[in-house]
Amino acid sequence: MAEFTAAVYQNEFLPDGGTDVNAIVSVTCAGAGTAGQGGSAAAGEIIIIDTSGSMGVESMEAAKQAATAALAEIVDGTYFSVVSGNGAAFLVYPPVSSGPGMVVMSPASRAQASAAVAQLRAAGGTVISTWLDLAGTLFASVPQVQQRHAILLTDGENNERPGVLQQAIDRATGYYQCDCRGIGVDWKVSEIRPIAQALLGTVDLIPGPGQLRAEFEAIMRTAMSRGVADAELRVWAPQGSQVVFVKQVSPTVEDLTSRRSIVNDLTGGYPTGAWSDESRDYHVAIRLPAKAIGQEQLAARVQVFAGGEVKAQGLVKAKWSDDSALTTRIDQQVAHYTGQAELAQVIQEGLAAKAVGDEETATTKLGRAVQLAVETGNDEATAKLRKVVDVQDADTGTVQLKKAVERADEMALDTASTKTTRVRRS
Amino acid sequence: MTDAERMTCPACGEQLADGAQFCEACGASVSGVPAPVAWAGAGSDLDDLSPISRPTARDAASSGPPAVPAPRACAQCGSPVGDDGYCTVCGSKAPSERDHFEQAPSAWVAGVCDRGVKHARNEDAMALFAEPDRGGRAVLVVCDGVSNSDGSDVASLAAVQAALEVLRPPLPKGMGDAASADAVATRVLTTAAAAANTAVIAHTEPSSARPASCTMAVGLVDGATVRCAVIGDSRAYLLPDEGEGSQLLPDDSMAQALIAAGHPREEAEASPHAHAITKWLGADSPDVVPRVATVTADRPGWLLVCSDGLWNYASEPEALRAQVDAAGTTEPLPLASALVAWAIAQGGHDNITVALARVGPMPVGENATDDERQVHG
């Protein structure tokens, strides 16, 4: 049985009149087990492969191999199906046109599915909304599947009117999770990232067909290790207070504030999806009415709610003090993740400015990003930034945009912008 | 007493000290916990050296789910307090029962003991006893743990309970004359101080470099006779409704030494070492014989026994009287609460204990209902 623990890092001391409480709540899950094996609820996996004409022979062959590798990772007993997508979505396996659209993984079904994947050919356009909708329909056709996860591979720009994809994303949100991968440099991070963010998945760039197989294996292995089907982060805040934001800050930055569902008058629930044995950190910011010096109160109860019960609880506190030695201290974790969240934001803003030719803003934002990456010890971000800008002084954030930048490097910086490093805990 | 016979906290299961009113681990009130029956299983002959721990000290018949106490109400908004000690609605921290407790052993005696604002824990302690009817006997004991000594919160609580146990039985009357009664009372009050001192030492780590220590102030009411005993700077005041009040005994403090040397009280009490006490209870105390005084309450009023957390803000009897009048109540518990709230409003720099007994003859209006009840009852 999975066990959760929650640890809170914060400076609970507020100065006279202070109202804002920031805390990092580190949630760790242990003993998660394997997806679909824990209880009555089954797990389902759908592999969605882009088969648009732009894929070409090399990418198409790599995608087939990757899909086959992913099928090999799906644990027997898991429900699955394979979808191909171009201008419309097609059910590749199982070969049915009505009834349940997923079958249980077994050596036989794995072999049949692999054979079906081998028949795929690249042709046609890219209408991702139809792919997402078919996945949703397939999951819905097998009601016992309660833990739903998909992998989506694409290589090109989505060809549909603005808003259509977003509507499909909205239909899938809260129903299944989806990890997205883009192959090559012709897809748009800004199109695919919203899918991954809304569907509690990851987004990444796969520069060449050669890396695809290993990536799909890894994604599926991670998915199968998520023995906790669904967990919710519940944040109670006192009457009269305001939850300023709730963000996941590790392993990636995901702002969950707008994802709040109402648990009761004082408690909001934020989706976190399925869990394996892992740690995730959340930054919770609460604004309280100030109290008198010497008063103490609870600013937030942060709970992990899974399987119908509270699995762990962390308490975020506020104590008003006139001792400035206490109130001016900034918690190391809070400072670190505040920097990392800003890093993600300035990278994205900097690249967006660069894309529209606003070099001045791009230089400022990416310079700040270099500064933050160095400050917070995010070596991956630093390395990726150095491929896009020439760093003159990292400490002050003085940079120049490189004249010639590989598009893949820019996209890699963009997709990696939300990845954070953890602060070493003493 | 073997381990199995010791009481455990119903809230957290921690072992309790003898006669404990609060769990030292979680702060829950345990004064109502009945002494468990001795474990009657096969291991009842186990001695302290036995290698296994005993699962529980309950017998099988009484072992059911432990009673869940009703949630406490938040002092700020009245909503239930959560298991984590914070209000479920406004988030205010509920004081632990060691940090704030009230006692009202009868309608004419009550007290409030509170952590105050600045101190992290409540090292004051209070124990009260009173016969049901006014005009009977009452015992008010207040101890103030010295904050730079180790574990003085535990020691002060042990001290008040030890002193109360000595003072609870009616005093022997001696030869029957006043001088003899005074001598007997002095002896018992001295015994109470010695018992409190023993309790403090029993709760002190022998190796402690700063052994636990505390003050003690006792008020004894028996009809119109009010006796008090003081060690350190906790005080007893007699505050009649009309006329001048008085502090019944001087402090054992540097401030008092300065006053004795001719300095004005205000100046003396503001001096840097004013609060250094010259007498205390504890392992390193050279002298635990209290000062003792006896007065007759010939007018209705209050016996107030308090720690310096109150009198720091109103040392003169008249200043205290002003706050008593401002509270506008003749009920002892609301009055004690009001005085504590006032001290908190003044800054609450120290722990605050206020124990009150209504003393002196009952005015006509006040006892009319009692008389009627006697007539009709």
pLDDT band, residue B150 (cuts 50/70/90)? confident
A240 contact B CB<8A: yes
Question: Is pLDDT of B22 > 80?
Answer: no
| Chain A residues close to B118, C-beta within 8 Å | 294
A352 contact B CB<8A: no
B149 CB burial (10 A radius; 0-12, 13-18, 19+): buried
Closest-CA residue of A relative to B349 is A294
C-alpha closest to that of A258 among A324, A174, A319: A174
Question: Is pLDDT of B97 > 90?
Answer: no
Q: What is the DSSP string of A137-204?
A: HHHHT-TTEEEEEEEEEE-S---S-TTHHHHHHHHHTTT-EEEEEEESSSS-HHHHHHHHHHTT--EE
* Mean of per-residue pLDDT scores for chain B: 82
CA distance A150 to chain B (A): 39
pLDDT at B274: 81
pLDDT at A246: 98
Question: Is pLDDT of B353 > 90?
Answer: yes
Contact A304, A312 (CB under 8 A): yes
End-to-end CA distance of chain A: 29
pLDDT at B17: 63
Cβ partners under 8 Å of residue A43, min gap 6: A35, A36, A37, A78, A79, A145, A146, A147, A148, A149, A224, A229
pLDDT per residue as tens digits for the range A306-316 = 989 999 999 99
Q: Which residues, in sequence order, are bridge partners of residue A206?
A: A183
**In the block, which residue shows the tokens 């186990």?**
B46
CA distance B177 to chain A (A): 53
Higher-pLDDT residue of B206, B239: B239
Question: Is pLDDT of A252 > 90?
Answer: yes
Q: Can you read off the two tokens belonging to residue A361?
A: 């803003």
Closest-CA residue of A relative to B94 is A297
> Which of the 8 DSSP states describes residue A105?
-
Q: Do B90 and A239 touch (CB under 8 A)?
A: yes
pLDDT at A154: 94
Mean pLDDT of A353-380: 94
Cα(B315)–Cα(B313) distance, integer angstroms:
6
B80 contact A CB<8A: no
pLDDT per residue as tens digits for the range A125-138 = 999 999 999 999 99
Contact A316, A10 (CB under 8 A): yes
pLDDT per residue as tens digits for the range B248-296 = 999 999 988 888 888 888 888 888 888 889 999 999 998 999 999 999 9
Pick from A297, A298, A322 the residue to mutate for testing the B interface (most B CBs within 10 Å).
A298
C-alpha closest to that of B102 among B346, B336, B351, B339: B336
- Reduce the DSSP state of residue B110 to 3 states and report it: strand
pLDDT per residue as tens digits for the range A389-413 = 999 999 999 999 999 999 999 999 9
Mean pLDDT of B222-226: 93
Mean pLDDT of B302-321: 95
pLDDT at B206: 85
Pick from A8, A235, A239 the residue to mutate for testing the B interface (most B CBs within 10 Å).
A239
| Chain A residues close to B82, C-beta within 8 Å | 301
pLDDT at B175: 74
Question: Is pLDDT of B96 > 60?
Answer: yes
Query: Which residue from A293, A299, A313 is facing B91, i.e. has the nearest CB?
Result: A299
Q: Do B86 and A241 touch (CB under 8 A)?
A: no
| Chain A residues close to B87, C-beta within 8 Å | 238, 297-298
Higher-pLDDT residue of B27, A191: A191
* Mean of per-residue pLDDT scores for chain A: 94
CA distance B266 to chain A (A): 27
Question: Is pLDDT of B370 > 70?
Answer: no
Distances (CA, A) of A80 to A42, A70, A135, A271: 11, 11, 10, 23
**In the block, which residue shows the tokens 């006997």?**
B137
Mean pLDDT of B233-262: 92
Cα(A380)–Cα(A347) distance, integer angstroms:
13
Query: Which residue from B91, B118, B348 is facing A238, i.e. has the nearest CB?
Result: B91
Question: Is pLDDT of A345 > 80?
Answer: yes
Q: Do B92 and A297 touch (CB under 8 A)?
A: yes
Cα(A208)–Cα(A88) distance, integer angstroms:
25
A19 contact B CB<8A: no
The B residues from 321 to 350 touching A (CB cutoff 8 Å) are: 348
| Chain A residues close to B84, C-beta within 8 Å | 298, 301, 313, 315
Segment of B78-82, B153-157, B170-174 carrying the highest mean pLDDT? B153-157
Question: Is pLDDT of B2 > 50?
Answer: no
C-alpha closest to that of B29 among B3, B14, B6, B10: B10
All domains in chain B, ordered by first residue: 1-66 (no CATH), 71-97 (no CATH), 101-365 (3.60.40.10)
Q: What is the DSSP string of B22-62?
A: B-TTT--B-TTPPPPPPP-SGGGG--TT-SSPPS-SS-GGG
Q: Which residues, in sequence order, are bridge partners of residue B281?
A: B214
pLDDT at B365: 53
Higher-pLDDT residue of A388, B49: A388
Query: Which residue from B89, B93, B118 is facing A296, i.e. has the nearest CB?
Result: B93
Angle at A145 between CA A117 and CA A191, to 5 degrees: 60
pLDDT band, residue B71 (cuts 50/70/90)? low
Question: Is pLDDT of A88 > 50?
Answer: yes
Question: Is pLDDT of B362 > 90?
Answer: no
Distances (CA, A) of B45 to B15, B35, B36, B40: 20, 19, 17, 9
Q: Do A294 and B91 touch (CB under 8 A)?
A: no
CA distance B305 to chain A (A): 26
Note the ipTM here: 0.79
Question: Is pLDDT of B24 > 80?
Answer: no
pLDDT per residue as tens digits for the range A104-161 = 999 999 999 999 999 999 999 999 999 999 999 999 999 999 999 999 999 989 999 8
Q: What is the pTM of this model?
A: 0.71
Q: Which residues, in sequence order, are bridge partners of residue A44?
A: A79, A148
pLDDT at B273: 83
Q: Can you read off the two tokens belonging to residue B358?
A: 């209504």
Q: Which residues, in sequence order, are bridge partners of residue B306?
A: B235, B354
Q: Do B86 and A297 touch (CB under 8 A)?
A: yes
pLDDT at B270: 84
CA distance A329 to chain B (A): 20
* Cβ count near A121 (within 10 Å): 12
pLDDT at B37: 36
Distances (CA, A) of A186 to A124, A176, A179, A214, A264: 15, 26, 18, 21, 45
pLDDT at B9: 59
Higher-pLDDT residue of A245, B207: A245
Closest-CA residue of A relative to B86 is A298
pLDDT at B363: 59
Closest-CA residue of A relative to B93 is A297
All domains in chain A, ordered by first residue: 3-33+228-329 (2.60.40.3670), 42-224 (3.40.50.410), 333-416 (1.20.120.1690)
A326 contact B CB<8A: no
pLDDT at B59: 36
Q: What is the dihedral of CA A193, A75, A138, A198, to 10 degrees?
A: -20
pLDDT band, residue B61 (cuts 50/70/90)? very low
Question: Is pLDDT of B66 > 80?
Answer: no
pLDDT at A1: 76
* Cβ burial A243-275 (10 Å sphere, 16+ → b, else e): beebbbbbbbbbbbeebeeebeebbbbbbbbbb
pLDDT band, residue B14 (cuts 50/70/90)? low
Higher-pLDDT residue of B71, A34: A34
Mean pLDDT of B205-234: 93
**In the block, which residue shows the tokens 């769990």?**
B23
* Cβ count near B127 (within 10 Å): 27
Size of interface A-B (CB pairs under 8 A): 41
Cα(B157)–Cα(B214) distance, integer angstroms:
10
pLDDT at A327: 93
